[in-house]
Amino acid sequence: MANLYFYLLSCLLVTSALKWRTSTSLPMRAQQQECAKCSELFASLLSNIRGLFSNNSSCMPQRSTAFSESECVTSIMKDVAHYDALIGSYLKAKLKNPEEETALLSTTREIIHNLKSCFLSVNGGMSSTEEATTSHTWDDNDSFKNRLNMCKMLRGFHMRAITINRAMGYMSSGDHRK
Mean pLDDT across the stretch 5-14? 47
Give 102 or 129, the one with higher predicted confidence: 102
Angle at 120 between CA 135 and CA 74, to 5 degrees: 50
Segment 87-94 shows an average pLDDT of 91
The percentage of the chain sitting over the pLDDT mark of 90, rounded to a whole number, equals: 14
pLDDT in tens, 139-174: 888 889 999 998 999 999 999 999 988 888 888 887
Q: What are the pLDDT digits (tens) for 25-45?
A: 555 566 666 666 676 776 777
Alpha carbons 171 and 119: distance in angstroms, whole number: 13
Is the model more confident about 152 or about 47? 152
Structure confidence at residue 117 (pLDDT): 82
